[in-house]
Structure 1
Amino acid sequence: MRIVLFFSALLACLAAVAAPNDPATLDRSTWPEQLSSPALFDVASRAQILMFAHLLLVSEVLDEPALKKRLGLKQINMAAIDAVRHRMWQRLLTSYNAAQQSCEQDASFCFYVEDMDSLQKAAGKFRVADDSFYVRWAEPARAFNERYLDEQLRLAALLPQTSSEIQLMGDHERNGEAFNDRLFLLTFDGGPTMAQGNTDELADYLRKQKISGLFFVLGNALQARLDKTSMPAVRELYRQQCVGVEGWQYRSHSQWQDWEDSILRSVALVQNAVPDNYVALFRPPYGQRRADSAAFFKAQHLQVALWDIDSGDVTGKLSAEQSAQRVMTLMLLWRRGVIVFHDTQDKARTALPWLLKQTAESGLGWQDCKEAFR
Structure 2
Amino acid sequence: MKREFAIGLLLCLSILSVQAAGPASIARAERALWPDGVAAVSDYNRASRAEALVFVNALSDLAERDDETLKATLGIKSVDRGSVKRWRDLVLTRLFENYRLARRSCVPDEAFCQPVDSPAALVEQGRQLSSQLPARYRPWFTGADAFHRRYVGELLRLAALFPKVSSEIDSFGAHERSGLELPDGHFLWTFDDGPTGAAGTTDALLPVLAQQGIHGMFFVLGERLQKRLQMDGAHAVQTLYDGQCVALHGWSHETHQKSPRWQASILDTRNLVQDALGAAYRPHFRPPYGQRRADSGPFFVENGLSVALWNIDAQDWNASLDARQAGERVLTLMLLWRRGVILFHDSHGKAAAAIPWIVAQTRDAGLSWEDCRHY
TM above 0.5, yes or no, is: yes
Decide whether aligned partners of structure 1 residues 363 and 106 sit closer, same or farther in structure 2, where only a CA change above 3 A counts.
farther
**1:230-259: CA deviations, max 9, x gaps?**
111111111111110101101111111111
Report how far residue 131 of structure 1 moved: 5.2
Shift in Å, 1:129: 4.8
Q: 1:248 aligns with which of 243, 248, 251?
A: 251
Corresponding residue of 1:347: 350
| 1:239 paired to 2:242 | yes
Question: Residues 148 and 261 from structure 1, CA distance in 2 versus in 1: closer, same or farther, beyond 3 angstroms?
Answer: same
Corresponding position of 2:69: 66
Query: Is the 2:179–2:311 contact (alpha carbons within 8 Å) kept by the matching residues of 1?
Result: yes
Amino acid at match of 2:28: T
Aligned residue in 2 for 1:26: 29
Distance 1:39 1:350 in 2: 26
**SS of residue paired to 1:216:** strand
1:318 to 318, 321, 342: 321
Kept in 2, the 8 Å contact 1:57–1:123? The answer is: no
**Residue matched to 2:311:** 308
TM-score, with normalisation over the residues of structure 1? 0.91
By how many angstroms is 1:122 displaced?
A: 1.7
C-alpha distance in structure 2 between counterparts of 1:105 and 1:240, whole Å: 45
Structure 2 residue aligned with 1:213, among 211, 216, 226?
216
- Classify the secondary structure of the residue corresponding to 2:282: strand
User: How far apart, CA to CA, are the structure 1 residues paired with 2:51 and 2:176?
Assistant: 28
User: How far 1:59 moved relative to its partner?
Assistant: 2.2
Q: What RMSD over aligned residues (CA atoms) do the two structures have, in Å?
A: 1.5
Query: CA offsets, 1:323-355, max 9 Å, x none?
Result: 111100000100000000000001122212221
Do structure 1's residue 99 and structure 2's residue 107 form an aligned pair?
no
Moved over 3 A (4+): 128-131
1:57 aligns with 2:54: no
| SS of residue matched to 1:211 | coil
Secondary structure of 1:204 counterpart: helix
1:343-372 deviation per Cα after TM superposition (whole angstroms, max 9, x unaligned): 000112221222112122222110011222
What amino acid sits opposite 2:301 in the alignment?
Answer: K
Q: Distance between the aligned counterparts of 2:36 and 2:255, measured in 1?
A: 42
Q: Residue deviations 1:136-175, cap 9 Å, x none?
A: 1011100000000000000111122211000111111011
Q: 1:106 to 1:192 in 2, by over 3 A?
A: farther
What SS does the corresponding residue of 1:163 show, helix, strand or coil? coil
Tell whether the 8 Å contact from 1:155 to 1:166 is kept in structure 2 after alignment. Answer: yes
Are the equivalent residues in 2 in contact too, given 1:128–1:138 (CA < 8 A)?
no
Contact 1:39 1:105 in 2 (8 A): no
Match of 2:42 among 39, 42, 47: 39
- The unaligned stretches of length 5 or more in structure 1 are 1-19
Query: Are the structure 2 counterparts of residues 363 and 325 from structure 1 closer, same or farther at C-alpha, using a change threshold of 3 Å?
Result: same
CA contact (8 A) 1:129 1:135 kept: no
1:280-301 Cα deviation digits (max 9, x unpaired): 0000000001111111111100
Q: Distance in 2 between matches of 1:106 and 1:284?
A: 46
Letter in 2 for 1:84: W
Query: Counterparts in 2 of 1:278-289, with a 5 A limit?
Result: 278-289=281-292
Shift of 1:114: 2.7
The TM-score normalised by the length of structure 2 is: 0.91
CA distance in 2, matches of 1:106, 1:131: 12
Cα distance per residue 1:167-222 (max 9 Å; x no partner): 11111101111111111000000001111221122122111221100000011111
2:53·2:123 contact (CA, 8 Å) conserved in 1?
no
- Identity of aligned pairs, percent? 43
Give, as a single letter, the amino acid of the residue that structure 2 aligns with 1:323: A
1:328 aligns with 2:331: yes
Q: How does 1:106-185 map to 2 (within 5 A)?
A: 107-127=110-130, 129=132, 132-185=135-188
Alignment coverage as a number of residue pairs: 353
Partner of residue 272, structure 1: 275
Q: Which has the higher helix share?
A: 2
Q: Determine helix, strand or coil for the equivalent of 1:244.
A: strand
Q: Give 1:57 deviation, angstroms.
A: 1.5
| Deviating more after overlay: 125-134 vs 345-354 | 125-134
- Residue 219 of structure 2 aligns to a residue in which SS? strand
Offset of residue 118 of structure 1: 2.4
Checking the alignment, whether the CA contact within 8 Å between 2:63 and 2:156 is kept in structure 1 is no
